[in-house]
Amino acid sequence: MNDITRREFIKWSAMAAVATMAGCSAPQQAAPAPQATARPTVEAAKEWHKSVCRFCGTGCGVQLGIADGKLVALRGDPDHPTTKGLVCAKALFLPKIVYSPDRLTKPQIRKAGKLVDATWDEAMNLVADKFADAIKTAGPDSVAYYGSGQALAEESYLANRLFKGGIGTNNLDGNPRLCMASAVGGYTTTYGKDEPMGSYDDIDHARTFFLIGSNTAEAHPVLFDRILDRKSKNANVQIILVDPRKTPVRRVTDIYLDPIPGFDLDIFHAMAQVIIAEKLHAPDFITKHLVFRKVVDNQNVDVTFDEYVKFLEAFTPEKAAEKCGVPATKIRQAARMFAQGPTMSLWCMGLNQRTVGVWANNLIHNLHLITGQFGKPGATPFSLTGQPNACGGVRDTGALAHLLPYGRVIANADHRAQMEKLWGAPAGKIKAQDGLNTIDMFKALGEDKLKAMIIITTNPGQSLPNANKYRDAMGKERANKPFIVSVDAYPTRTTELADVVLPAAMWSEKEGVFGMSERRYQLMPKLISAPGEARSDFDILLDFAARLEERGVVAKGYIAGKFKTTADVWEEMKEASRNTAYDFTGMSRERMKKERGIRWPVLDETHPGTNRRFVKGDDPLLDKGPFADANLKPGDIKIYTGANNKAIVWLRPSKDPAEPADKDFPFVLSTGRVLEHWHTATMTMKAPELRRAQPEAYCEVHPLDAEKLGIKTGDMVKLTSRRGDVTVRARVVDTPRPGMVFVPMHWYEDNALINKVTIDAYDPASRQPEFKVCAVKVEKGKA
């Protein structure tokens, strides 16, 4: 694999997955780089244990091979009910990644501008002193927590409990704000509560797949394999793709719509217009299950179906084509294919990372609702997730600035009172105002309004948009510079800015729950020891809470002495879910140790888990508890989380992106992923095989644009926005549409850190930034 091409790597990845499924070792590669240990092999394992993958939200079941207390191999788990033994290439190298020689093993404190080793007591006393001083002198809202969809569910829940109910600040947010907040907003504004109602099983029943802003082939390759398997076995299965970039998904697509980046809302409205005009909608479903709504002067106003039809007259395919750049004939074809069904929509960052992300999500739900493509096998709107625990660990536990656990929200007084009672916090301790969302949190940091922040299992020094601004906020020396704590397993572009760095235990070195995209909660066992003095985020939070209690800024006994293990916290989490739409009180720790994940809601130990929500006979909440309805027949639908048990079809206006191309910055930049790397590449770059397969950042330029600019493949190109610039190597390909350039998000070198260029404008509803669209100029750069 020394001179591997990307095409060969994809082929190798597929071979590895097939070999793993068969219980064989993956194909062997060339000798590893000198700084890394030799790649572990399946044959070296003396015992195998079930677990879950560390990477994306697919939640692939894995088996981990252990020998002499060391992790020596990983293979797909053939008994896993949803991923059935498949894993991607990234997962195969996790055993090597865990043992990377640059793992953080000792606490560090910044002294005289340099990070130096310290004892845990020295580091934790400093952290507790800084936070306590800030809280006493400037109030609880002077401190903040920034978390991650990669922390364990129990860790995020504990942090939420500590900050909101203990310290008394709602300044707790996390990186799912950057990737999934608009999906949350779409589900909650449409159905009343978050999370998909369907499951991966719907893939095996769908006739039409509607993929929007999702490079499923590279970002979720195991799910893409399942889609391809469905298509290969059924000649009637068709795929519609909406994406301004010809990702590998394009190769298997039946209808491809490539809108001008940021101008796809008109497509979805136009599809709805065609569906109704051609009487492809579902009148009975509409009458029984839907209401129609628009916003007038910041007030929600219900309207009639006829008013919705009138609204859509402004979005005929011909009118939409003028704005989005997609031919009207293709829009009509897509609408008809969607309405045939059963249709499963799948989307990801291309829809979410937008200043109209919630509206875009709403419009996908609209299509499902007006056609009745809902609550039936293969008919469901399904948001894909980028992190292993953004769903179960952050969205569900309420670990965002506006949320409380399991469907509760800060703005609701009853919800606050419920959590205060469960947590043993004084009445009124949880503030009635939302905390700072991610972007506003880091803005406040730069304005010195925040005095102390703890960052756990994430890398905002690289992952935030408009990165130069927020790197300065974290690291620029000044008189009142805030105090930054970074908890991580590896050195990152964030740890380099921190005042204290705490070494964290990683995946397989601690026990806890990951919640994947299809509502399946899976227990990850602790199988190996963390290196050096590294501790789990959970143990660090327990220690932190105890020291804050000692300093009088958190009530004595609020956390200290109450919890010792993640299993202890899990019991309280189950209780918090009781009688909510998320109820998982039937997931005992012992049951989770035995089973390969369980999909909520699940009310008792005998229930197998829920395949489809809101469907009588599938969803146990329609049989028992506050949402039960004895009048329903098996297969009947009741959207019990919606207002008056109905979903909302929203009349959303067309709206342009925050920063379209103009004469000064004539190109649109979009960012995304590649198969071989993940997020900020903190982990995947530790495997030499993955680094060699995709060694450097690049910029895709369309041939028509490259000819005008005099750029050839291999040339260095400089991309400049109103915020910053990068210089990377060009790839002249017809993958992006003309006028668009694409750079992957993973590289951390100064010349390639693409988030120096991206924009921090965000959706006013979800507060999720618009990573996918910003204006840049492109020119030849210097090597």
Q: Is residue 201 part of a domain?
A: yes
pLDDT (tens digit per residue) in 375-427: 999 999 999 999 999 999 999 999 999 999 999 999 999 999 999 999 999 99
Q: State phi, psi for 681 to the nearest 5 degrees.
A: 60, 15
Residues in the chain: 783
Q: Is residue 581 part of a domain?
A: no
Q: Which residues are catalytic?
A: 90, 179-180, 349, 386-387
Q: Is residue 647 part of a domain?
A: no
Q: Is residue 593 part of a domain?
A: no
Q: Report DSSP letters for 568-622, one per residue.
A: HHHHHHHHHHTTSTT--TT--HHHHHHSS-EESP--STT----SSTTBTTT-GGG
With a cut of 70, list the residues of the chain below it in pLDDT: 1-41
Q: How far apart are CA 722 and CA 737, in angstroms?
A: 22
Which CATH number characterizes residue 31's domain?
A: 2.20.25.90
Cα end-to-end distance, the chain, whole Å: 26
Q: Is residue 736 part of a domain?
A: yes
pTM for the predicted model, two decimal places: 0.95
Q: Is residue 605 part of a domain?
A: no
- Domain range for 190: 181-383
Same domain, yes or no, for 533 and 472?
A: yes
Residue-level pLDDT at 575 = 98
Q: Among residues 40, 16, 386, which one has the least CA distance to residue 213?
A: 386
Same domain, yes or no, for 347 and 207?
A: yes
Same domain, yes or no, for 776 and 691?
A: yes
Tell me the one-letter amino acid at 241. Answer: L
Same domain, yes or no, for 363 and 221?
A: yes
Same domain, yes or no, for 526 and 449?
A: yes
Same domain, yes or no, for 434 and 553?
A: yes
How do 108-111 and 114-117 pair as beta strands? antiparallel
Q: How far apart are CA 747 and CA 755, in angstroms?
A: 10
Q: How far apart are CA 365 and CA 363, in angstroms?
A: 5
Q: Which of 98, 126, 144 is the last residue of a domain?
A: 98
- What are the structure tokens assigned to 378, written together? 């293969």
C-alpha radius of gyration, the chain, whole number = 25
Same domain, yes or no, for 39 and 136?
A: no
Same domain, yes or no, for 199 and 302?
A: yes
Which CATH number characterizes residue 705's domain?
A: 2.40.40.20
Same domain, yes or no, for 173 and 220?
A: no
pLDDT (tens digit per residue) in 99-133: 999 999 999 999 999 999 999 999 999 999 999 99
603, 624 in Cβ contact below 8 A?
yes
Same domain, yes or no, for 175 and 189?
A: no
Same domain, yes or no, for 139 and 215?
A: no
Q: Which of 504, 534, 564 is the last residue of a domain?
A: 564
Number of domain units in the chain: 4
Residue-level pLDDT at 40 = 53
Same domain, yes or no, for 559 and 418?
A: yes
Which CATH number characterizes residue 412's domain?
A: 3.40.50.740
Q: Is residue 627 part of a domain?
A: no
